[in-house]
Amino acid sequence: MTTSRPAVIEVKDLSKRFVIRKDKSIKERIVNATLSRQHREDFWALRNVDLTIESGSTVGLIGPNGSGKSTLLKAIGGIIQPTSGTVRRRGRLAALLELGAGFHPDLTGRDNVYLNAAILGLSRRQTDLYFDAIVEFSGIEQFIDTQVKFYSSGMYVRLAFAVAVHVDPDVLLVDEVLAVGDEPFQRKCMDRIKQFQREGRTIVLVTHALDQVVDICTRAVVLEHGHVMLDGSPRDATRLLRKDFDVTSTAEMEASGPGTHARVVSVQPRDSAGNNVTDVRPGEDLVLRVTVESDQDLADWVLGIGIDSPTGQAVFGTNTQLMGTRMTTLRGRRVVDVRLAGLRLGEGQYFVHGALAQWDGPTFAKLSQAAPLEVGGTGRSIGPVGVADLTSEVVDAGAHR
């Protein structure tokens, strides 16, 4: 991705290898010393990663567990050294990489504030100026002189984040730790991150909260098995990742479910006249024509349909069990129409999906992103909810008496 803004992080051909030892004890290591290569395995967490992050951007690193996200963030932060390749950084960097990282358990919260600030490059005099604001932001004033080994995980995060955002960083690295705090503190953190964005600071974020990536990131990078699979818009990145998740989930469902011989073939949006459509207007009827098939007799089955946002967030869903409809035994191919009368979706793009489940049992087959659906509008509202009419006049009711 090209831009006129200067690069603050440059990752070139970066690879990181970890050695996994199969010896279970020190004794085994000594006994097998001459055969060490037979008792070790190389694991490449990152392979030939190239990444340039520009000043003022907010980049989300996303991917399944074990994809290399945290390893890449630690390499960017200088916490670990790459096996090969280079990382170049510019400006002051603050990192929240692991719960309690940089904290000494036997020191008090007060001492750890000064320790962390010193690690991040602040003098004691500078830390003195920020100290009250750090403690106030953390919300743990009454515990600031308690040893941090007695802190809860939420208290760790509060204090660590408070230090990180008050040391005036040019680049902020965050690795999932915000999920530990309670909801009010998470909102406070997000407000501070958005303030950083307005100030033109650079943020690199590792998270599994894909909707959060779409909400705050200007760019997203999908990692899988240590490789960059996509580097682009947050919507494209989260769509790709959720599609991969759905494929994996569907494969697992089909392998373990009771209906491994049945599947959803297609889901086609249609208008009330029976014509195939790709776009509708708010308030129009929509029919979802679902084609399913089974190689064997399938009794007590449930048909589900749904509408999702481009990032995979469920917007609407229902199924024949919720509607109180028992389906007759399925064998061979069958077409089922589900009518959604007066559907009022907000303007934007969506996807439809279909699924099969057992009555009072698990889902065993799903066809995600079966077809796109565009909902038109006037451009006067945002979000997945549509309304019958928006008045063109805003009436000021006056002061309350």
Please report the pLDDT score of residue 2 as a whole number: 46
Q: Is residue 26 part of a domain?
A: yes
Please report the pLDDT score of residue 39 as a whole number: 59
At residue 1 the predicted structure's pLDDT band, cuts being 50, 70 and 90, is: very low
How many whole angstroms separate alpha carbon 13 and alpha carbon 303? 48
CATH of the domain at 322: 2.70.50.60
Q: What is the per-residue DSSP string for 67-107?
A: SSHHHHHHHHHTSS--SEEEEEE-S-EEEE-STTTT--TTS
Regarding whether 262 and 217 lie in a shared domain, the answer is: no
Q: Residue length, the chain? A: 401
How many whole angstroms separate alpha carbon 181 and alpha carbon 177? 8
At residue 96 the predicted structure's pLDDT band, cuts being 50, 70 and 90, is: confident
CATH of the domain at 226: 3.40.50.300
Q: Is residue 195 part of a domain?
A: yes
Residue carrying the six token digits 């007590």: 300
How many whole angstroms separate alpha carbon 381 and alpha carbon 345? 11
Q: Would you give the end-to-end CA distance of the chain in angstroms?
A: 56
Regarding whether 266 and 217 lie in a shared domain, the answer is: no
Answer yes or no: are the C-beta atoms of 170 and 90 closer than 8 Å. yes
Position 101 pLDDT exceeds 70: no
Choose the final residue of a domain: 191, 208, 239: 239
Average pLDDT over residues 265-281: 93
Q: Is residue 384 part of a domain?
A: no
Which region, left, alpha or beta, applies to residue 398 given φ > 0 means left and ψ of -120 to 50 means alpha? left
With a pLDDT cut of 70, the percent of the chain lying above it is 85
At residue 394 the predicted structure's pLDDT band, cuts being 50, 70 and 90, is: low
Q: Is residue 298 part of a domain?
A: yes
With a pLDDT cut of 90, the percent of the chain lying above it is 50
Between 393 and 203, the more confident residue is 203
Regarding whether 185 and 43 lie in a shared domain, the answer is: yes
**Is the Cα torsion angle 379, 380, 386, 392 positive or negative in sign?**
negative
Average pLDDT over residues 174-184: 73
**Class of residue 25 by CB neighbours under 10 A (exposed 0-12, middle 13-18, buried 19+):** exposed
At residue 55 the predicted structure's pLDDT band, cuts being 50, 70 and 90, is: very high
Between 390 and 232, the more confident residue is 232
Nearest residue to 169 via CA among 87, 79, 93, 259: 93
Regarding whether 303 and 190 lie in a shared domain, the answer is: no
Please report the pLDDT score of residue 25 as a whole number: 62
Please report the pLDDT score of residue 212 as a whole number: 84
Structurally, how many domains does the chain consist of? 2
At residue 52 the predicted structure's pLDDT band, cuts being 50, 70 and 90, is: very high
A 10 A CB-CB count for 132 gives: 10
At residue 99 the predicted structure's pLDDT band, cuts being 50, 70 and 90, is: low
Regarding whether 279 and 235 lie in a shared domain, the answer is: no
Regarding whether 136 and 184 lie in a shared domain, the answer is: yes
The two beta strands, 286-298 and 262-270, are: antiparallel
- In the beta sheet, which residues pair with residue 276? 270
Q: Is residue 398 part of a domain?
A: no
Regarding whether 139 and 85 lie in a shared domain, the answer is: yes
Position 329 pLDDT exceeds 50: yes
Between 354 and 399, the more confident residue is 354
Question: Can you give the residue range of the structural domain that contains 91?
Answer: 7-239
Regarding whether 321 and 231 lie in a shared domain, the answer is: no
Regarding whether 266 and 175 lie in a shared domain, the answer is: no
At residue 168 the predicted structure's pLDDT band, cuts being 50, 70 and 90, is: confident
Answer yes or no: are the C-beta atoms of 390 and 283 closer than 8 Å. no
A 10 A CB-CB count for 76 gives: 25
Average pLDDT over residues 207-234: 91
* Residues whose CB falls within 8 Å of the CB of residue 182, separated by 6 or more in sequence, listed in order: 154
Element (H, E) at 116: helix 109-119
Q: Is residue 250 part of a domain?
A: no
How many whole angstroms separate alpha carbon 304 and alpha carbon 279? 21
Q: Choose from 35-49, 91-105, 162-176, 257-271 the range with maximum mean pLDDT.
A: 162-176
Regarding whether 361 and 225 lie in a shared domain, the answer is: no
Average pLDDT over residues 124-142: 92
Burial 274-312 (b: 16+ CB within 10 A, else e): eeebeebebebebbbbbbbbbeeebeebbbbbbbbbbbb
How many whole angstroms separate alpha carbon 24 and alpha carbon 34? 16
* Residues whose CB falls within 8 Å of the CB of residue 354, separated by 6 or more in sequence, listed in order: 264, 266, 267, 288, 290, 292, 303, 304, 305, 306, 366, 367, 370
Q: Is residue 252 part of a domain?
A: no
Regarding whether 145 and 286 lie in a shared domain, the answer is: no
Average pLDDT over residues 64-81: 92
Regarding whether 278 and 234 lie in a shared domain, the answer is: no
Please report the pLDDT score of residue 28 as a whole number: 61
Tell me, yes or no, if the pTM score tops 0.85.
Answer: no
Answer yes or no: are the C-beta atoms of 366 and 308 closer than 8 Å. no
How many whole angstroms separate alpha carbon 204 and alpha carbon 212? 13
Q: Is residue 397 part of a domain?
A: no
Distances (CA, A) of 362 to 78, 296, 315, 327, 330: 45, 18, 21, 16, 17
How many whole angstroms separate alpha carbon 393 and alpha carbon 32? 82
Average pLDDT over residues 312-322: 91
Structure-derived torsion over alpha carbons of residues 277, 282, 283, 289, reported in degrees to the nearest 10: 30
Nearest residue to 166 via CA among 230, 120, 105: 120
Between 143 and 96, the more confident residue is 143
